[in-house]
Structure 1
Amino acid sequence: MSAAKTSQRAAGGVDWRDVPLAPVILVFGPEDFIASRAVDDVRRKLRAQNPELEVTSLDAAHYTAGQLGMVASPSLFSEPKLIEVGTLASMSDDFLQDALAYIKDPAPDVTLVLLHGGGVRGKKLLDALKALGVPRVECQPLKKDAEKAQFVSGEFSLARRRIDAQAVRALVAAVGSSLSELAAACSQLIADTSGMVSSDDVDKYYGGRVEATAFRVADAALAGNAPVALSTLRHALATGVDPVPLVAALAMKVRQVAKVFSARGSSAQLARDLGMSPWQVDAARRDAGHWSGPALVTAIKILAETDAQVKGEAKDPVYAVERAVIVIATAARR
């Protein structure tokens, strides 16, 4: 199963990357980027069937009675129609009544796409759509890094390109706060690179981002590469990166290594048990090869101290984070 479909099925509903055509389609949820991609997919499929597709947009919040029936009525030459209705979360009572009547007997050669941003407004219509088995595209925000990683993998799979696991993580760390930014970053890497996309490619385009820099410091420190960890850290600090996200990245990496250190089982099984994604389990296991139990205890203690220091307890937070990186990097086995 593809990463895109896995992510979608976790959320429920139909796959937003491959929306099945139907007389009525509900696009539901607050993530505008996913909603726009779902609508684009419907448009593309309908235009592939007939380039003369007529597209009409309606606003459910400012709807007046009779509009839907008028727009859906057959045209002179009977061209197929796509009607996109937005702002269902603020729908007028007139729209609710007209929509309830329309979905019971949709017009032929018309596709009605209903966009609802979430919430309970129009519950009567939502329940009626569910009872009729109308395809529902879930548009929920991707909050977990594992979901964003699946999204990135799905974008590359669709483009028939490959990206390695470390590059996926680096890209999510660099631009994962916005799904539209993440999609744009995927498009840029697909367009501007060839072959397998690596973490070096991600670093070239997005290495200046705070999160990506923090994870490069953490990766080097946990691998026992003190010179690289320190030089990367000092460059980050010199360019204005705050010590707090640097310590947070180190702490996250150490926690992941501690979780898998004595664990047994497949990556998929441990991912379920530990609340991590399989690629995070694999990366943590690789890092764990550099560590002993006592060394992990040392790393956890220094990070607890450093976290408090960079958040106000120390006069010199830069010195505190440098000391933590040195202790961690030297505790790890090369």
Structure 2
Amino acid sequence: MKTVYGTALLVQGAEALLSDRAVDARVKAARREHPDAELVTLEGREVDAGRFVEATGGSLFSQATIVVVDAVSDLDKDLFDLVTVTAAHPPETLCLILVHPGGAKGRGLLTKLSKAKVETIKADALKAAAIPDFIAKEARRLHLDMDRDAVNALHQALGNDLRTLVAAVDQLASDSPNGQVGADAVRTYFGGRAEISSFNVADASLEGRLPDALETLRWALSIGVQPAAVTAAMARGLRSLGLYLDMRTQRMGDKQLAQAIGVPPWKLKSLNRQGRSWNKAGVAKAIRLVTTCDAAVKGAAVDANYALESMLIAIDEARQT
């Protein structure tokens, strides 16, 4: 069996679920080989040469080390050569995993890693047309028999957010004693859950996935989601992001930080992704845009749909300031 030690893996792409799964699969493979391996997780923006060398140079407490460097797009350019050399020739006791969230930032490092022939797994965001196939594949993974009508019903009910869809398929699999589910059962479970798509719009917008945000918005409006629900979701998302940007440098554990912000602990990973391309001034500007749009969709605008699309485009510009 091929060992994962003495190797490096680059996981590249904006779809967080696919990225997380690729990382988890490599970590589990490393754990199977060395159950006592030390796991070290680093954030790109916090890494310097000394910390990287210390993490990848071996552990005093274990014969093997798993090092995950998240958001390598945020690494200082002066580290690109060091990271590339280590990834190209990792020690036999090291399992190195580099995670790039997609986009142009850190492109120089990606070029170097490509030239060094570092193994790469793509985790690109799926287009809406590919979502039904993803749902069907997820159902097969859980040994759930879903016909195409059931797959399409789930897509229509919940939209394009992969984490939401995975959770839904898992619930259906758990609650289907014969391992089969049809479109009627899907509608019974999730037909009233269309409002969840407003939060999918907000997540895509705040993560800088403007095309996905616009596409999800149009889909949500087409199935009856109220425009005011979208502005409410955007306001809530921006409030959480603003608090995260204020508090992330404080000495708090994840649970304490999540409580202070008012979100579940799992939401911190999403806020961390969003926070990489936002600053406090941008969040403040985006909140003003949402407030203006909220008034528009509640009566001041002739076309609420156009007002929402314009808001998303303006918020994406605020994100990049």
Offset at 1:161?
2.3
Partner of 1:278: none
2: distance between equivalents of 1:98 and 1:29? 22
Kindly indicate whether the alpha-carbon contact (under 8 Å) linking 1:31 and 1:140 is maintained by their aligned counterparts in 2.
yes
Residue segments in structure 1 that go unaligned for 5+ positions in a row: 1-19, 213-242, 248-310, 314-334
Offset of residue 246 of structure 1? 5.3
User: Which residue type is aligned with residue 142 of structure 1?
Assistant: L
Hey, what does 2:113 align to over in structure 1? 129
Aligned-partner residue type, residue 157 of structure 2: A
- Give the stretch that moved more between structures: 73-82 or 129-138: 73-82
Quote how far apart the aligned CAs of 1:151 are.
1.0
Deviation at 1:95, TM superposition (A): 2.9
In the alignment, is residue 67 of structure 1 matched against residue 51 of structure 2? yes
- How does 1:292-331 map onto structure 2 within 5 Å? none
Deviation per CA, 1:152-206, whole angstroms, max 9, x where unpaired?
1111111222111100000111112311101111111111112211112211210
Q: Which amino acid aligns with 1:245?
A: S
Question: How many percent of aligned residue pairs carry the same amino acid?
Answer: 29
Tell me which of 118, 122, 129 is aligned to 1:138.
122
- The corresponding residue for 1:160 is 143
Question: Which structure is larger by alpha-carbon Rg, 1 or 2?
Answer: 1
Deviations 1:196-244 (A, max 9, x none): 11112211210113499xxxxxxxxxxxxxxxxxxxxxxxxxxxxxx96
* SS across alignment from 1:45: helix
**Residues 60 and 95, structure 1, Cα contact 8 Å, conserved in 2:** no
Partner of 1:170: 153
1:245 aligns with 2:229: no
Range moving further from structure 2, 106-115 or 75-84 = 75-84
Match of 2:36 among 40, 49, 52: 52
**Aligned partner of 1:45: which letter?**
A
Q: 1:204 aligns to what?
A: 188
Q: Assess, with a 3 A threshold, how the Cα gap between structure 1 residues 174 and 62 changes in structure 2: closer, same or farther.
A: same
CA distance in 2, matches of 1:155, 1:119: 27
TM-score by length of structure 1 reads: 0.54
**Contact 1:63–1:94 (8 Å) recurs in 2:** no
- Equivalent residue of 1:79, what SS? coil
Q: Shift in Å at residue 76 of structure 1?
A: 4.0
**1:193 is matched by which residue type in structure 2?**
S
Distance 1:155 1:175 in 2: 15
- 1:159–1:126 CA distance, 2 compared to 1 (3 A): same
Q: Secondary structure at the match of 1:154?
A: helix
1:83-142 per-residue CA deviation (whole Å, 9 max, x = no partner) reads 010121221134323202312321112111111112233333212221232221212211
**CA shift in 2, pair 1:93/1:207, >3 Å:** same
The normalised TM-score by structure 2 is: 0.57
Q: Which amino acid aligns with 1:54?
A: E
Instruction: Assess if the C-alpha contact under 8 Å between 1:90 and 1:121 holds in 2.
Output: yes
Distance 1:211 1:166, change over 3 A: farther
How far 1:39 moved relative to its partner?
1.0
Distance 1:97 1:135 in 2: 17
Change beyond 3 A, Cα 1:246–1:185: closer
Task: State the Cα RMSD in Å.
Answer: 2.8
Paired residues of 2:59 and 2:65 also in contact (CA < 8 A): no
Match of 1:253 in 2: none
Label 1:126 to 1:42 Cα distance change in 2 as closer, same or farther (>3 A): same
Report the AA paired with residue 97 of structure 1. Answer: D
For 1:245 and 1:122, the matched residues in 2 are separated by 38
- Separation of aligned partners in 2, 1:150 and 1:96: 37
CA distance in 1, matches of 2:195, 2:149: 14
Q: Cα–Cα, structure 1 residues 165 and 77, in superposed 2: closer, same or farther, change >3 Å? A: same
Distance across 2 between alignment mates of 1:82 and 1:89: 20
Compute the displacement of 1:28 (Å). Answer: 0.8
Q: Distance in 2 between matches of 1:244 and 1:117?
A: 29
